[in-house]
Amino acid sequence: MARLNYHHLYYFWHVARADSLTRAAEQLHVSQSALSSQIRQLEERMGVALFERYGRKLQLTAEGQRALEYANDIFRRGEELEALLRHGIAPSVSHVHIGVLSGMSRNFIESFVAPLLGKPGVRFTLHARGWQNLLRGLGQYQFDLVLANAGISRGEGDPLWQSQLLARQPLVVVGPAQDRPSLPFPQGYLGRQWSLPGQSSEIRSTFETYCARHDYQPEVIMEADDMAMLRLLARDGGVLSVLPEVVVRDEISQGLLCRYMTIPNAWENFYAITRKGHPLPEALSALLREWSEVQVEGTVLRG
């Protein structure tokens, strides 16, 4: 009967989390060849392939994904055991890892994590990543939950992932408070200049469809995919922009920007994405239950 070699498992754990044999070898201060040999011995002992090898690149197999989930638990519990035996300290802190899509509204992210701030026994880390890196990290148990402004399509891992709609935020046209148009759209917007999300953005597509229905061609002088940058361009550039209202919430309340109009039937959706069958830390489970209970269509529920 094969017995698990925890030394080999420890090496596997580092490689899987680092997503790179080179980085893991540097962290462990061993050669890549020695590290590769240890993992190969673990695979031979267990009778399964844990990684698919594409040249120098490693990708976890389905068995490797399951092994990583167990390894995370094993070594986390090992650290707790060491703390208990050495110092008599029972684990009292839950550390949660939240992935966030790069470029999405920082105001929304803040509103989501606000209940965790100062919560006894809870610590959290935010990791900003691109879409594919978020899904890969979620699959490799680097994140407990991912926040995004797009749901999961069937071609991106379904049924591995599950999405929960947290809130819908209306899209608004904003600009300098002193230059608010006196006429409705499109007459009041002739000759105005715009700062808009990039061509690949759903917000951009929605706005251009709305413009086409009204035979209006916006003069776009600036583009940005990052919501924080769009907020700054709208605030400091003296131009018009289309954004989820939550992005410029503070600027509107301070009078730095003015909401000119709300685009009919146009929304930015915010989702929490988790891995099916993977239990969440209680702090996150409670947070998702709270959002689910108070969700109101068309609003951001906090702040």
Give 226-263 pLDDT, tens digit per residue.
888 888 888 888 899 999 888 888 899 999 999 999 99
The residues, ordered by sequence, that sit 6+ positions from 168 with a Cβ below 8 Å of its Cβ are: 267, 268, 269, 270, 297, 298, 299
| 299 falls within a domain | no
Does one domain contain both 152 and 276? Answer: yes
Does one domain contain both 273 and 159? Answer: yes
CATH code for the domain of 200 = 3.40.190.290
pLDDT digits (tens, 9 = 90+) for 254-297: 999 999 999 998 988 899 999 887 778 888 888 898 888 765 44
Does one domain contain both 220 and 75? Answer: no
Q: Report the pLDDT value the prediction gives residue 56, as an integer from 0 to 100.
A: 67
Does one domain contain both 10 and 71? Answer: yes
| 301 falls within a domain | no
CATH code for the domain of 23 = 1.10.10.10
Residue segments in the chain with a per-residue pLDDT below the cut of 50: 1, 296-303
Does one domain contain both 278 and 138? Answer: yes
Does one domain contain both 273 and 238? Answer: no
Determine the structural domain holding residue 149 and report its residue range: 94-167+269-294
Paired strand residues for 167: 270
Q: Report the pLDDT value the prediction gives residue 100, as an integer from 0 to 100.
A: 94
Boundary-marking domain end, from 45, 66, 87: 87
Tally the domains of the chain. Answer: 3
| 68 falls within a domain | yes
| 106 falls within a domain | yes
Does one domain contain both 215 and 282? Answer: no
DSSP letter string, 141-199: TS-SEEEESS---GGGTTTSEEEEEEEEEEEEEEE-GGG--SS-TTGGGTT-EEEE--T
| 199 falls within a domain | yes
- Please, is 62 exposed, middle or buried when counting C-beta atoms within 10 Å of its C-beta (0-12, 13-18, 19+)? exposed
Q: Report the pLDDT value the prediction gives residue 202, as an integer from 0 to 100.
A: 85
Does one domain contain both 257 and 276? Answer: no
Q: Report the pLDDT value the prediction gives residue 1, as an integer from 0 to 100.
A: 41
